[in-house]
Structures are given as C-alpha cells and as structure tokens.
Structure 1
Amino acid sequence: MAKNSKYCKNVEHEAHCNLTRFQWQVLEQTAKIPFGETRSYKWVAEKIGRPKAFRAVGQALRRNPYPVIIPCHRVVKEDGTLGGYAGGPSDKKEELILKEQAILKKIKGIR
C-alpha cells in the first residue's frame, strides 16, 4: 500500500483508520491478485486465514475505499460467476475483467 500513498496522502490515513483489521487484510490480499486474473471470495478468505468468512470478504470489498487502486472487481464467486459489485451493475464488473484480460493478451503478444 505504501507505493500508492503519493496518490492519496490524506485519504489513505483517514480510510485506513476506518477499516477493521479484517477489512484491511481482505484489501491487502485482493491487491495481490494479478492484472487480468480473478480469484474467488473463498480464495481471499483462505489466504487471510479465515476460510469460512467468504461472505464477510464480499462485505469488506463492498466497502473498499480504494476501488481504483485495489481491484475488487477481480474477486468473483467460487463458480466463476460474478458477485455483487459496488461500482455499478455486474455487467460493468465483467467488462472490467474482460478489458484487463484483453490488455494482458496484447502485452504477452508483444513479448
């Protein structure tokens, strides 16, 4: 998170103070999801050591104060379908995921 502090100096401190430890863990783990990839709510819950807290993961992501920096749209249901998306309709979430995947394919094609 420190690398992004120059973009939200005042916001980061205020938002961090309003997050629970659990919410912060969810956001930190979500930030590690690679560009163009998705993970499940259950995966995030397992990674933070709370395997049964997948619904709480969804609630934490719903309250994400950094949606541009922390890619909560990369978290989907276990079966790969889209979950709730605080940024608008779920078709927008799918659009964001597909755009990332297309960009990633172009980048890999260049190499």
Structure 2
Amino acid sequence: MSGNKPSLFAQSVYDALGGIPAGKVTTYKELARSIGCGSPRAVGQALRRNPDAPQVPCHRVVRTDGDLGGYQGRTRGESLARKESLLRGEGVEFLPDGRVDLTRSGHHFGA
C-alpha cells in the first residue's frame, strides 16, 4: 500500500468493491449508486488511485455498455489487457466484440 491514506470517499468505494464476488462485475454507475454518489466519474477517479489493486478488486468495475473502461489510470494497452486477463481468469463472460456480457456476469448491489 502506498503511504497516502485514501479519502473517506475513496475508502467507501474500495469497501463497496468487497461486495462484488469473483466472476462478476458491476458498472461505475451502479457502484456510485450503491454508495449514494451521483457521479460515476468520481467513482472512476477513486478507482484510478486504488493503491491495492488487484487485492481491492477495481478490475470488477466496467462501463454501462460492458466496455472495460480503464484500469490503473489507463484506457488501453498493457493495463487494460491486465484487467481483461484478471476478469477472464475469474470466469467473467465476454461478448464476441470484447465487451463484458453484463446479462451473465453483471452484479447489482442488493440483488
């Protein structure tokens, strides 16, 4: 873990990630809703600074359309390939176009 302590908001995002089981994903929007935040972008920024990835599983958060979004502050390249690899390793199902199949692998808080 880095020397910087996460903000209370960031910590609430990281804590909520613990409710997403391996093999499932949620969306930035759903994660924001689950913690009472109206901004999926704010959630994304907190995830970008996650000092304990992948132990704090921010890789389990994708865009509403199933696109991977970003990982470790990057939206392409090696970081995104790592996110995809982590998800596939957990059994997350993908569509032929490379997006996550949210009907099979989606997780909704409280569901």
TM-score relative to the length of structure 2: 0.71
Distance (whole Å) between structure 2 residues aligned to residue 22 and residue 89 of structure 1? 24
How far did 1:78 drift?
0.7
Flag structure 1 segments of 5+ consecutive residues without an equivalent: 1-10, 103-111
Query: Is structure 2 residue 20 aligned with structure 1 residue 33?
Result: yes
Q: Tell me the equivalent position of 2:47.
A: 61
Which residue of 79, 83, 89 corresponds with 1:93?
83
Give the aligned residue type for 1:66: D
Q: Which of 28, 38, 43 is residue 30 of structure 2 equivalent to?
A: 43
Q: Distance in 2 between matches of 1:92 and 1:20?
A: 26
Q: In structure 1, how many angstroms separate the alpha carbons of the residues matched to 2:36 and 2:54?
A: 25
Q: Which segments of 5 or more consecutive residues in structure 2 lack a partner in the other structure?
A: 93-111
Rounded to whole Å, the distance in 2 between the matches of 1:75 and 1:97 is 10
Structure 2 CA distance, aligned partners of 1:83 and 1:68? 16
TM-score, length basis structure 1 = 0.71
Identity %: 43
Equivalent pairs counted in the alignment come to 88
Task: Calculate the aligned-residue CA RMSD, in Å.
Answer: 1.9
Amino acid across the alignment from 1:81: D
The code of the aligned residue for 1:74 comes to: R
Q: Provide Cα deviations, 1:31-71, integer angstroms capped at 9, x if missing partner.
A: 21101110000011000001x21001011001111113211
Counterpart in the other structure of 2:11? 24
Instruction: Give 1:71's aligned amino acid.
Output: P
- The CA distance in 2 between the partners of 1:83 and 1:30, in whole Å, is 16
1:47-106 per-position Cα deviation (integer Å, ceiling 9, x unaligned): 0001x210010110011111132111010001111111117431221111011017xxxx
Which is higher, the Rg of structure 1 or of structure 2?
1
